[in-house]
Amino acid sequence: MQKLFIFLFNNYILSFIFVGVIAINVWMYFGVGGIHDIKYVSGGKNIPDTQLYQSTDNLNNLLSKYGSQGKLYYLRYQYRDYIYPFFYGLLLMGILFRLIKPTGFNVWVFVPVLAAFFDYIENYFLRICFYDYPNLIDTKVMMASVATSLKWFFIALSFVLIIIAYINRRKKYIARNKIKNQRPNTYTS
């Protein structure tokens, strides 16, 4: 597994994944049926994926503001959102792997996989809710809401882990250079 990660997260592939995340973000926002179009037809309303909590009333209100064109745009947008978690999960996982440099299995490296997993669950239940509208089922909305909250929690945790790993890596680097630069004085007067 270690050799696979070293290969998978080398500079070139990690750079390619980073460019892929940027490209998918641009496509998700500006592509036909993207967030820009959804906001335009709904009077500035955002997508439900960005909210931390979703109630049946909130989602019902949002879908009524979307109208039929907004719902069509969102369902089209969601195809892109099935690709995106894979790329951002790999990117965050690669950054954590490169910063932590585990010698064996390290659970922290896999936290972004949980974020991507809950993103897929969120997408699935939101898609069902969009098809069920106007007869939204509370349980499905709750499942989408819980998945959204857990997605954002694990994304935030991934960033916190990246910051902690970076700080620890810098401390080790500074300590190593401090020891290197402390040479004994061999000159006698």
Is residue 147 over pLDDT 80? yes
Task: Tell me the C-alpha to C-alpha distance, in Å, between residue 61 and each of 2, 58, 120.
Answer: 48, 5, 23
Q: And the tokens for 22?
A: 């940027």
Is residue 186 over pLDDT 70? no
Kindly report the length of the chain. Answer: 189
The answer to whether residue 17 is domain-embedded is: yes
State the pTM of this model.
0.87
Range of 40's domain? Answer: 2-181
pLDDT tens-digit readout, 5-35: 777 788 899 999 999 999 999 999 999 899 9
Average pLDDT over residues 40-45: 93
Exposure string over 82-102, b if 16+ CB within 10 A, otherwise e:
eebbebbbbbbbbbbbbbbee
Alpha-helix runs per DSSP H in the chain? 2-8, 11-30, 35-42, 56-81, 84-100, 111-132, 138-181
pLDDT band at 163 (very low <50, low <70, confident <90, very high): very high
Exposed / middle / buried, residue 154 (Cβ in 10 Å: 0-12, 13-18, 19+): buried
Query: How many domains does the chain divide into?
Result: 1
The answer to whether residue 188 is domain-embedded is: no
Residue type, 1: M
Out of 35-39, 55-59, 185-189, pick the least confident.
185-189
pLDDT (0 to 100) of residue 37: 94
pLDDT tens-digit readout, 62-104: 999 999 999 999 999 999 999 999 999 999 999 999 999 888 8
pLDDT (0 to 100) of residue 26: 96
DSSP string, 28-79: HHHSTTSHHHHHHHHTSPPPGGG-S---HHHHHHHHHHHHHHHHHHHHHHHH
Task: Tell me the C-alpha to C-alpha distance, in Å, between residue 97 and each of 12, 19, 70, 103, 184.
Answer: 15, 18, 39, 10, 36
CB 134 within 8 A of CB 63: yes
The answer to whether residue 177 is domain-embedded is: yes
Q: And the tokens for 31?
A: 């592509």
